[in-house]
Amino acid sequence: MPLPEAQDSTVTTKPEKTPLHKTHCDAGARMMPFGGFDMPLQYSGIVAEHRATRSEATLFDTCHMGEIRVRGPQAVRDLDRLLSASMATMLVGQCRYALMCTEDGGVIDDLIVYRMDQNEFFLVVNAGTRNSDFDWIQSQLSSDTHAVNESADTAKIDLQGPHAPQILQNLTSTNLASLRYFRWTQIAYAGRTILVSRTGYTGEIGFEFYSDANTAIQFWNDCAELGAVPAGLGARDTLRLEMGLPLYGHELSMNRNAGQSGLEFAIARDKAFVGSDSVQDTVSRNQTLCGIVLSGRRAARAGDRVQATDGRDIGIVTSGSFGPSVGCAIALAYVETATATPESPVILAGAGRLQGTLTPTPFYKNGTARKPIGDFLK
């Protein structure tokens, strides 16, 4: 099964450690460098951790991610100019996925934006780009808009899966029943007030928990005692791939126009933003991101060529793996828009030649992420 590759923009020869590093090592996790950090690849096994997320609950250490707070009277205007999604229409308490682009439409990063107040936003960015993101954001803000890089002081844990709501409810007196998808709230936990959002990267109902390092370690242990299974980057990758979700450095990069990504919901059409002229230019959309279902378990690899049945090259694979919940190998690939017709047969040419079929995403249709949270609370 293909493994996630390290993001390379801030990777050093000696990876950093998250607050949970000792916890992972003590549990026998297999570690690997990712985004500049030494991270758990797997514990009991990628497939077992993947299936635990779909049917039970898992814990992911995401302390390597970056957090940037932006505030000021011009914060809405500045972020609307910097990000592809609309900031002006966000409600306080809402989260929104967005792209941050170069002038020519390449993707600097993809991120989640939290609206904390009328003039305050909390940005969650990728690990490998968190420092360069901060520098770019800071250079683009008005003089009375201020950005603070809170990454070093912020720990983050993802609790994901159908059992996650009950586990979290058992740890807080805050009633979670009204928390909607892509919203955040403050919960009472261990004598503190903690930021929790109903977001994630797996397709299952779950939460992202932000705190200081010591509280994060306590939360991890408390969740594990209530049945949550530790999971690593391997399962995180297969879960997101089954949902057709992009990974920065694979589906998204500064060398790939955001207009080709298929992420239309994250690209506002009624405003100008950095790179919008190129992103919205139909000429730049000569390729589009597609799903491919393969006929067996053997997976394609990033960089494999996508060919039409006549042997003509029509695209390139960006991610591939066996999908434990769909029972076959799956892949994401950029394919010539003119030939990107669902159900079209293709050949994936790399170390070997694999038969595939273009298909809409997500590959896995039974994710619980958007279901009412009350369905999971006793």
CATH class of the structural domain 286-359: mainly beta
DSSP 114: E
**Sign of the alpha-carbon torsion through 241, 246, 249, 251:** positive
Structure confidence at residue 11 (pLDDT): 44
Structure tokens at 298: 């053997």
The rounded average pLDDT for each run of 10 residues, N- to C-terminus, in the chain (378 residues) is 45 83 98 97 98 98 98 98 98 98 97 98 97 97 98 98 98 97 98 97 98 98 98 98 97 97 95 96 90 94 97 98 98 97 96 94 98 95
Please say whether the beta carbons of 245 and 201 come within 8 A.
Answer: yes
Helix, strand and coil in the chain, % to nearest 5: 25, 35, 40
**66-152 is classed CATH 3.40.30.10:** no
Domain positions in the chain are: 21-63+154-242, 66-152, 286-359
Q: How far is CA 251 from the centre of its chain?
A: 11
Residue 327's alpha-carbon distances to 164, 184, 295, 319, 350, in angstroms, are 24, 34, 10, 17, 22
Structure confidence at residue 282 (pLDDT): 84
Q: What is the dotted CATH code of the domain comprising 21-63+154-242?
A: 3.30.1360.120
Encode 311-343 in three state secondary structure.
Answer: CCEEEEEEEEEEECCCCEEEEEEEEEHHHCCCC
Tally of helices (H runs) and strands (E runs) in the chain: 8, 19
Question: pTM for this one?
Answer: 0.95
Structure tokens at 7: 């993001």
By CB neighbour count within 10 A (0-12 exposed, 13-18 middle, 19+ buried), where does 350 fall? middle
Structure confidence at residue 245 (pLDDT): 98
* Nearest CA among 236, 200, 219, 206 for reference residue 43: 236
How is 186-223 classified by DSSP, letter by letter?
A: EEEETTEEEEEES--SSSSSEEEEEE-HHHHHHHHHHH
Alpha helical stretches, state H, the chain: 21-26, 46-55, 75-82, 130-140, 164-171, 213-225, 233-242, 276-279
Write down the residue that tokens 């790939």 correspond to. 256
